Chains A and B, each alone.
Chain A
Amino acid sequence: MKISITLFGGLRQYLPAGSGYNNCDIEVDEGVSLQTLLAKIPIPDGKPFLVMHNDTRITPEQYAELNIASDDQVVLLPPIKGG
């Protein structure tokens, strides 16, 4: 199945080549975990980001247990900085 994933702000640089402005479709197996999905995005270790799944904050401890369905919303946010 295909999952649409959105990356905002400075995280956009980690979108695969050929992606839209801030999102891409990723091919994964049915019932994939968020952890497996995130592993397909080459965000360097230590780079902070927040995952919003269906508009809910997900903590790193939940990544392995959370299964993603094809019409789920997955959004990755870089830290908010003042501006």
Chain B
Amino acid sequence: MAWQKQILRVNLTTGVCAIEPLNMEWAESYLGSRGLGSKYLFEEMDPAADALSAENKIIFATGPLTGTMASTGGRYTVVTKGALTGAIACSNSGGKFGGELKMAGYDMLIIEGESEKPVYLHIEDEKVEICDASEIWGKTVWETEDLLAAKYRDPLMKFAGIGQAGETLCRYACIVNDKHRAAGRSGVGAVMGAKKIKTIAVRGSIGVRSSDPKAFYKIVNEVNARMDDREGMSREGTLAMIDVTNGFGSLPTNNNRSVRFEGANKLNPEAMHTPNENGHTNFVTNGACFGCTIGCGRICKIDPTHFSVKDRPEYHGASGGLEYETAYALGSACGVDDIDAATFAGFICNEYGMDPISLGGTIAAAMELYDIGVIDDKVTGGIKLEFGSAEALCQIAELTGKGEGFGVDIAMGSKRLCEKYGHPDLSMTVKGQEFAAYDGRSMQGMGLAYATSNRGACHLRADPYEHDFETTEIAGKAENVRDSQHDVAFLDSSGLCLFPGGCGWGLEDYRTLVDAACDSDWTDERLKLTGERIWVLEKLFNLKAGLGKKDDTLPKRILEEPADVGTGKGLVCRLDEMLPEYYELCGWDADGVPTSETLTRLGLN
């Protein structure tokens, strides 16, 4: 069995660290990672508590397949109440941290309370200590990792922590591990900042064992052989999608004023792989998370003569480059077609610990406020915040990371920013979280998925892609979104990445691996029920937190302004027609509250 069957609980108020047995009954019902972390959070905290208070807990949860030899088995999820959204946050990351935490002997780390002074957590298997962080508080993510790796003389130590954005409570501060992988969404880094915990340093030597390693190895190899369409993902990463969505008419541009970006070809894989006029090539190599046989990560370098890094050699090295989502948020959303500028803003996100999707979405909203004259140079501190300005993007990204100047406003997130300046309709958010790189008019199912996502607008809570690619007609969308929300909840709870699903794996491959790792009968039916149970549990958390039907909606622009070009030209999102059908299919009442029959069926009463 690939669970370690124990969790580590750290109370920052009392300073007590305790190792406890994993609740195996819950593990059998919620699997691991996202699902199991959500169950612990739901049972242990009052969802109505303030996300930045000591009452909130932050959980680092691995899945049964994390740290095993299964391909992409390096994932972990951070579960907490989101500082950006006030909803349940479950933010997934790859890299090597999750595998290391599991190999130290823990399925899960629960951090509760809050520290008076800045601290960090040091874990080496069963040795756990809360340490003074005064020397690293105020440092970037990158500096922190380097300082602690040198202190412990252990280049293999893994870290998950915050930069200055988390310390200054930027609403979408993220948790960065391995320098450029992140539990990015919903402001999980601000929760760490509020608790004054800078980073978690972990080293594990216990390993992860399945009960029959030979049989498990055989199954892993068989399933891996079915991942037969991964070459494109390895060569171009998710960035390849930018040409496709742009052609389709679903690439949000200039704060969703348009769904097509003229400059997309300056941000696409060709631009990334082709030397510029100085002979500089952005792309260096691809990168992979723990145990991954795809390697979708982009490792890139900024042209050292580019204005953003000129005479700043600390930014001349290779680091995490543009993925599809960052190319959208730091590119088309802001109308910026400068690949080096977007790469720089992405570096800043990793260095200071910010979610690039929310940063880009918020800058885009600010650009629109500037464009219509609501804010001016006085407000921005002299920055010409025009759509398309690469200079403004880079300046604002740094100010926000440091919590200085107009960056303080940008750190609030798009919703709070637009409310502050009297134009809430210009915030392209759901439940306060900025849109991902798809538009809900040409992709009607995505519109429904954004509106109903438990963690706010998100492209990874459902899988409406195939259906949306086929038609803009809404028949079948509600069912597709509901079913895929459950499937994705299950997959996210396994410890595996979602991307093999685009490289040849189907649901059955994930199920086979979970079944092999967990020594119990993980049938297709159980998979579906588990996914639904997790989804509804998250929903119940949100209801208790005060969110409801009023929050399952989209910005006015998506509901009332027709898309300008592409497959969705002339269409608005028909959410008002899809939402009631969706609630009914879910077994929820007209207000989006699960009925008692539904709760009984899922064992949630």
Q: Which residues of A contact B (CB under 8 A)?
A: 6, 8-10, 21-22, 50, 52, 55, 57, 75, 77-83
Contact = CB atoms under 8 A, between A and B. Distances in A.
Interface string B491-523: 000000011011000000000000000000000
B468 A80 contact: yes
A60 to B, nearest CB: 11
Best-surrounded residue of A78, A82, A83 (most CB of chain B within 10 A): A83
Point out which of A55, A75, A80 has the most chain B C-beta atoms below 10 A from its C-beta. Answer: A80
A9 B566 contact: no
A81 B437 CA distance: 11
Given A82-B460, A82-B498, A83-B324, A77 B566 contact: no
Contacts of A77: 244, 247-248, 469
B465 A75 contact: no
Contacts, number: 65
Contacts of A79: 465-466, 469
B249 interface: yes
A76 B250 CA distance: 15
Contact of A80 (B245, B323, B460): B245
B459 A80 contact: no
Contacts of A8: 243-244, 247
21 contacts: A6-B247, A8-B243, A8-B244, A9-B241, A9-B244, A50-B469, A52-B247, A52-B566, A75-B247, A77-B247, A77-B248, A78-B244, A80-B241, A80-B250, A80-B468, A81-B465, A81-B502, A83-B238, A83-B241, A83-B325, A83-B502
A19 B437 CA distance: 29
A22 B247 CA distance: 12
| 9 A-B pairs with least C-beta separation | A83-B238, A81-B502, A83-B324, A8-B243, A21-B270, A9-B244, A10-B232, A83-B241, A57-B567
Contacts of A21: 270
Contacts of B501: 81
Contacts of A82: 459-460, 463, 465, 498, 502
B260 to A, nearest CB: 9
Interface residues on B, range: 35 or more
Contacts of A80: 241, 244-245, 248, 250, 438, 443, 465, 468-469
The dominant DSSP class at the A interface is loop
A58 to B, nearest CB: 10
A79 B248 CA distance: 10
B240 A9 contact: yes
B436 to A, nearest CB: 9
A10 B323 CA distance: 16
A55 B240 contact: no
Contacts of B466: 79
Contacts of B270: 21-22
Contacts of B460: 82
Given A75-B247, A80-B443, 20 more contacts: A8-B247, A9-B232, A9-B240, A9-B241, A9-B243, A50-B248, A50-B469, A57-B567, A79-B465, A80-B241, A80-B245, A80-B250, A80-B438, A80-B465, A81-B465, A81-B501, A81-B502, A82-B460, A83-B499, A83-B502
B325 to A, nearest CB: 7
B194 to A, nearest CB: 31
Nearest to A21: B270
Nearest to A73: B247
A72 B569 CA distance: 18
B309 interface: no
A25 B211 CA distance: 58
Interface in B540-591: 565-567, 569
Nearest to B463: A82
Contacts of B459: 82-83
A6 B268 CA distance: 15
A40 to B, nearest CB: 20
